[in-house]
Amino acid sequence: DTGVSQNPRHKITKRGQNVTFRCDPISEHNRLYWYRQTLGQGPEFLTYFQNEAQLEKSRLLSDRFSAERPKGSFSTLEIQRTEQGDSAMYLCASSLGRYSNQPQHFGDGTRLSIL
Amino acid sequence: AQKVTQAQTEISVVEKEDVTLDCVYETRDTTYYLFWYKQPPSGELVFLIRRNSFDEQNEISGRYSWNFQKSTSSFNFTITASQVVDSAVYFCALSDPNQTGANNLFFGTGTRLTVIP
């Protein structure tokens, strides 16, 4: 049973560029979450998928951010026209279950640095 | 609104000492879940424990123990006989399914624990 996998581990880009991150959840986990973590803070919720449906978005998720989960498997998070304030660790988590509150299992994250 | 407070920003202990990490939470609902996660220097958040609001029994797992007290809205975490490998940032988190169908986690700001050999 492999864990949650995120790629790339690190991304350095210039301000204004677009970036895309990928998350492969634990197989058969129907719930998938994206969080953002800045230095010295706890992770903050961005968005949630149940299977392929994006059911909830945080107000932190500006219109420059878009996430997809085609076919209910892997997910991508794209940030367009990156800004300095986007520099953070982007974490993906997955869990199993429709109604229960099962623990979320996290990947290693993608660290984004904006030059 | 949900809120998790971890007042201890950093704690240092000498190896083999016991240490308690504090967590205080706020929520309006009677049904909620509490979690502890460990984040070692490698960055991955590791799940440690989940507690639901109806189960106030304390739990022990090896050197780890958790004290859940609804009366004080606290969910404290104790490591007994600390080891260098316990050095990490520890996060307390709250999930409130009545407020959000996503069951997303609200995290505290974390406590950085350093165990000195």
Does B85 lie at the interface with A, CB-CB under 8 angstroms? no
Tens-digit pLDDT profile for residues B65-107 = 999 999 999 999 999 999 999 999 999 999 987 666 778 899 9
Nearest CA in chain A to B36: A103
User: How many Cβ atoms are within 10 Å of A32's Cβ, its own excluded?
Assistant: 28
* Cβ pair A103:B47 closer than 8 A: yes
Q: Which residue do the tokens 């996290």 mark? A: A106
**Which helix (H) or strand (E) is B116 found in, with range?**
strand B111-116
State both tokens at B108. 């505290």
Q: Does B1 contact chain A (CB < 8 Å)?
A: no
Pick from A89, A92, A106 the residue to mutate for testing the B interface (most B CBs within 10 Å): A106
Tokens of B39: 């984040």
Spatial distance between the Cα atoms of A22 and A89, rounded to a whole number of angstroms: 13
pLDDT digits (tens, 9 = 90+) for A14-47: 999 999 999 999 998 999 999 999 999 999 999 9
Q: And the tokens for A35?
A: 């969080």
List CB contacts (< 8 A) between B33 and chain A: 101
DSSP tag of A16? T
